[in-house]
Every structure is written in C-alpha cells, then in structure tokens.
C-alpha cells in the first residue's frame, strides 16, 4: 500500500511523542471510498453500521452517533429533561477535577453543580463524597460522572448512593473499552457519552461522538434531539414527517465521512486497549523507580482503558511540575496538565452558582491543579517507546 495512504511510523530525529497517534490505513480508506461513491455525505447506511458496531462493542442497547462527545452529554441531559427527570434550577453532582464540557452543558441548560472532591491518586470522583453530597443535598436530581483520563471510580458505592430515582450520565469519553467488575463502562448509567476526538482511543476522522442508553424511551428522545427535534415515530408518509417535531432539538448528527472512518476504527479497539494497558504497566514500572511521583491509583474491580499516563509531582521531589513539563516539551514529548484539577478556579465557572460540601475548599483538586500532569500512553511502537522512556529515565536519574 502506498505509504501516503496510511499513518506514518514514528522516526527519529524530528518526530514528537504525541498524546496519541491516529493509526489508519486500508480499512479507513475503503470506507471513505464507499461514502464518496454513494455521493451522499449525511446520515446513511455506514452510520447505521457504525452504530450497530458500537452496540456490539459496548453492550449498550441503543447508540446514536453525534458530532462530539460534548454534544453527546448535552443531548443526554436534554433527553432526561424531556423525560421529566430534571428541570432548570435543579442540582447535579459532579467532581471538581474534570474536562470543562463534562459539566458546562448542565450549567448552560440551567442546572447548578454540586462540586465534590476527587479521590486521591485516581483523578476521578471520591465515592464517599458522592454519598455525602446526597445526604447534604437530597434534592440533587442526578450526577454527571467523568471517567477522567480513563480511570474508573467505585461504581458500586456511587450507584448505591444515587439510588433508583437520580439519574447518572457516564462521561466515558476518555475510557472507551474500560471495565468495572466485568461490566463495560457505559452500562452503569441512564445515559453514557463517548468521544471520537483525535486524541482518544478511536476517532471518527478527528472528531465525533456517540450517546448510548439501555432505556428505550430515552433512545427515542435522543434520536429526535440529535436530528433537529424531528418526530421519528411511525405514522404518516415520510414527506409529511420531515417537518414534524417531537422535541426542541439540536443538530448534533455525525456525517457519513466521519462514520466511515469510525467504523474502521472500532474494529481495532480491542487491540488498542490491550496495547495501552501494556504501555501503562511499563510506565508504572518506569515512574515507580523513583520516589518523586504519586502514581495513579486503580480500584480493585476496575480495568481502566487509559487515555494517557497521569502522575503528580510530589512536594518532596527535587523539581516541580513546571520544570518537568518544560524538560519533556524540550525533548519533543507532548505533556498536558490534568485538564481542570479544580474547575472552580476557571473564570467562567467562578461566575456561576455552584455548591460544595466544604465551603468551596478542594485540597485534593488543588493538588491536581498545581502538581499533576499527563503524558503519552497509547501503545506506541517499541522503537518509539525506547526513545520516550529514555527521555523520562534521563531526567529522573539526573534529578
């Protein structure tokens, strides 16, 4: 196959160690050609095939494609609202350590967050804080739960705390393929969101997402909301129902071009998950040889599908996060802070009403904000790993 029609292997010198590489080739090209030959780029057969493949992969009964993971969360909230599960002014539980659009849609739609602490070392919600939030704010209508960076919190305690009458949206954008107690992530919530952004496990050509549910009523609402609010129920002739509406919808649909790319990618997901797990284990051994870092903590029942490798630089280390990040960047390693370690410090979130259990104090979130970062861990080829690990090892040994 012509190398120009496949992803280019890493080469030294010059190529950077990126947070992720989109690995593509003949299957993606063949699917794209199918769409081009059909001469229709909107929702079509290939979108339906991708949705079915996602049902098979996730074990969730209904999956609808969206144009992003953020849109999946927004439409999940809108479907729950249309189903009478919440209304503007209601409270929703959410960890303070998060990606912005995991909670911004709820705020934009009129909900008030109850921000809770992160469990130390996990970068995900502290289940004891969920329990405390429900006790302190029994009127809370539900929770949006990000499996941040691919890690998975104690789903047993969280589900028990929320009970049967509060909704749960799983933000699974970072952890596609993860498992908890033998069950796939996304199967615990009323709704789950997946992302196919270019840095995630699989991609729909650089961006895209999906919203999934096991609830038949919610899936009807979701499909309507994604397609302008259109009424898809059986009834009159198709041409009449084109402009008959069931919901106050959005336009969040995925194109056929995106679905074509994603359909080829989903077949590779099991391999990607396995490769990420292998590299994660290697990096734990690498970082664990020094006493400079707090390593990620995993629940005994969890099998995360890691987005990246997160570490927190200890206060006792002979360097700080900034120095480590600058060194990695200078050597061509892509490095990022752990998104919003404490999102209440961000300007737009400081301006909206929110609640907490601790008078607005989040010491764990602050430590993530100030000292945590994440680096590539996507199952890169062995020659690239050798160079990458050498860069990290050299810094640790000379510090």
pLDDT value at residue 240? 66
First-to-last alpha carbon distance for the chain, in angstroms, is 46
Which residue blocks in 227-359 are alpha helix, DSSP H?
238-241, 256-266, 269-288, 321-330, 347-350
Q: What is the CATH number of domain 26-266?
A: 3.40.640.10
Residue with more model confidence, 358 or 190: 190
User: What whole-number distance in Å separates Cα of residue 260 and Cα of residue 336?
Assistant: 30
Token digits of residue 77: 């909230």
CATH 3.90.1150.10 for the 270-398 domain, yes or no? yes
For 101-158, the pLDDT digits (tens) are 999 999 999 999 999 999 999 999 999 999 999 999 999 999 999 999 999 999 999 9
CATH 3.40.640.10 domain extents, the chain:
26-266
* Mean pLDDT confidence for 53-59: 98
Coil, helix or strand at residue 294: strand
Which residues make Cβ contacts (< 8 Å) with residue 324, sequence separation at least 6? 313, 373, 395
**CB of 280 within 8 A of CB of 309?**
yes
pTM: 0.96
Instruction: Judge if the upstream peptide bond of residue 309 is cis by omega within 30 degrees of 0.
Output: no
Which residues make Cβ contacts (< 8 Å) with residue 255, sequence separation at least 6? 41, 42, 43, 67
Kindly report which listed range (11-20, 135-144, 322-331) carries the lowest average pLDDT score: 11-20
pLDDT value at residue 1? 34
User: What whole-number distance in Å separates Cα of residue 176 and Cα of residue 156?
Assistant: 19
User: What whole-number distance in Å separates Cα of residue 227 and Cα of residue 245?
Assistant: 10
For 204-243, the pLDDT digits (tens) are 999 999 999 999 999 999 999 999 999 887 766 566 677 8
pLDDT value at residue 334? 98
CATH 3.90.1150.10 domain extents, the chain:
270-398
């Amino acid at each position: 196959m012509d190398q120009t029609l496949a992803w280019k292997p890493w080469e030294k010198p010059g190529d950077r160690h990126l947070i992720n590489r989109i690995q593509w080739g003949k299957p993606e090209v063949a699917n794209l050609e199918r769409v081009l030959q059909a001469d229709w780029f909107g929702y079509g057969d290939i979108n339906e095939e991708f949705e079915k493949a996602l049902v098979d992969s996730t074990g969730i009964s209904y999956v609808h494609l969206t144009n992003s993971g953020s849109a999946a969360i927004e439409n999940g909230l809108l479907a729950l609202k249309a189903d009478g599960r919440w209304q503007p002014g209601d409270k929703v539980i959410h960890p303070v350590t998060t990606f912005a659009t995991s909670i911004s849609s709820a705020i934009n739609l009129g909900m008030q967050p109850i921000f809770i602490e992160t469990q130390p070392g996990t970068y995900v919600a502290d289940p004891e804080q969920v329990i405390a939030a429900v006790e302190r704010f029994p009127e809370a209508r539900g929770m949006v739960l990000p499996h941040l960076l691919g890690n998975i919190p104690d789903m047993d305690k969280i589900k028990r705390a929320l009970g049967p009458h509060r909704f749960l949206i799983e933000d699974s954008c970072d952890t596609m393929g993860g498992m908890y107690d033998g069950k796939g992530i996304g199967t615990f919530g009323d709704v789950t969101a997946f992302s196919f952004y270019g840095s995630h496990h699989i991609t729909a050509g650089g961006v895209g997402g999906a919203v999934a549910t096991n609830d038949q009523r919610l899936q009807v609402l979701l499909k309507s909301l994604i397609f302008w609010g259109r009424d898809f129920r059986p009834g009159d002739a198709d041409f009449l129902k084109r402009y008959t509406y069931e919901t106050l919808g959005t336009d969040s649909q995925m194109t056929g071009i995106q679905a074509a790319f994603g359909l080829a990618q989903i077949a590779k997901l099991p391999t990607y998950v396995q490769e990420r797990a292998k590299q994660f284990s290697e990096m734990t051994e690498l970082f664990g040889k020094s006493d400079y870092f707090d390593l990620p903590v995993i629940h005994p029942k969890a099998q995360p599908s890691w987005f990246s490798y997160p570490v927190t630089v200890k206060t006792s280390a002979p360097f700080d996060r900034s120095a480590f990040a600058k060194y990695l960047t200078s050597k061509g390693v892509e490095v990022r802070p752990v998104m919003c370690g404490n999102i209440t410090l961000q300007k737009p979130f400081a301006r909206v009403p929110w609640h907490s259990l601790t008078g607005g104090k989040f010491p764990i979130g602050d430590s993530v904000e100030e000292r945590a970062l994440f680096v590539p861990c996507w199952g890169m080829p062995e020659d690239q790993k050798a160079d990458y690990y050498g860069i990290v090892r050299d810094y640790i040994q000379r510090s």
